[in-house]
Amino acid sequence: MTLCIEAETQSPWAPNVSVSIKEEYDSNVFLQDMTSLGNHASMVSTIIPAVGIQYSGSGTTRLQASYAPEVAFFHSESSEDHVLHRAGLGVGGKVGTTDWDWQNTFIGIAGEDVGITFTGPGGAPAAGGPRIRDRRDAAIYRSGIKVTQPLGKVVLRPTVAAYLHDFQSELRDTAGYLNYVDRKELVGGVDAGAETFPGLRAFLGYRFGVQDQSQLLHYPEEYDNHFHRVLFTLEGTPWKWMKLGASVGPEFRQYGDKVPASFGDHDVLKLFVDATITFTLGTADTLIVAAKQFEQPAFGGRATYEDLTYDLNWRHKFGDHLAFGVMGRAYNTEFMYPALRNDWVFSSSATISWTFNKQLQAEASFTYEDGESTLPNTSARDYTREVVALGIRYKLR
What's the confidence (pLDDT) of residue 11?
A: 80
Q: Is residue 131 part of a domain?
A: yes
Task: Calculate the average pLDDT of the chain.
Answer: 94
Q: Is the dihedral of CA 74, 78, 80, 84 positive or negative?
A: positive
Task: Give the largest Cα separation in the chain, rounded.
Answer: 94
- pLDDT tier, 12 (very low <50, low <70, confident <90, very high otherwise): confident
pLDDT digits (tens, 9 = 90+) for 347-357: 999 999 999 99
- pLDDT tier, 31 (very low <50, low <70, confident <90, very high otherwise): very high
Question: What CATH number is attached to the domain comprising 92?
Answer: 2.40.160
Lowest model confidence (mean pLDDT) among 187-191, 285-289, 333-337: 333-337
Q: Is residue 6 part of a domain?
A: no
Average pLDDT over residues 173-195: 96
What's the confidence (pLDDT) of residue 10?
A: 72
49 contacts 84 by C-beta, under 8 angstroms: no
Q: Is residue 289 part of a domain?
A: yes
Q: Is residue 296 part of a domain?
A: yes
Label residue 292 exposed, middle or buried (CB < 10 Å: 0-12, 13-18, 19+). middle
The residue segments making up the domain with residue 60 are 13-395
What's the confidence (pLDDT) of residue 6?
A: 41
pTM, entire model: 0.93
Whether 7 has a pLDDT exceeding 50, the answer reads: no
Q: Is residue 8 part of a domain?
A: no
Q: Is residue 142 part of a domain?
A: yes
216 contacts 193 by C-beta, under 8 angstroms: no
Whether 122 has a pLDDT exceeding 70, the answer reads: yes
pLDDT digits (tens, 9 = 90+) for 46-68: 999 999 999 987 668 899 999 99
pLDDT digits (tens, 9 = 90+) for 84-102: 999 999 999 999 999 999 9
What's the confidence (pLDDT) of residue 172?
A: 96
What's the confidence (pLDDT) of residue 1?
A: 32
Please state, for a pLDDT cut of 90, what percent of the chain lies above it.
91
- Total of domains in the chain: 1
Whether 2 has a pLDDT exceeding 90, the answer reads: no
Average pLDDT over residues 312-340: 96
Q: Is residue 1 part of a domain?
A: no
Q: Which residues pair with 68 in a beta bridge?
A: 86
364 contacts 397 by C-beta, under 8 angstroms: no
Whether residue 12 is preceded by a cis peptide bond, meaning omega within 30 degrees of 0, is no
- pLDDT tier, 9 (very low <50, low <70, confident <90, very high otherwise): low
| 46, 354, 392, 394 from 359: Cα distances, Å | 19, 12, 11, 5
Residues 6+ apart with CB under 8 A from 125: 30, 31, 32, 118, 132, 371, 380, 381, 383
- pLDDT tier, 3 (very low <50, low <70, confident <90, very high otherwise): very low
pLDDT digits (tens, 9 = 90+) for 245-289: 999 999 999 999 999 989 989 999 999 999 999 999 999 999 999
Q: Which residues pair with 1 in a beta bridge?
A: none
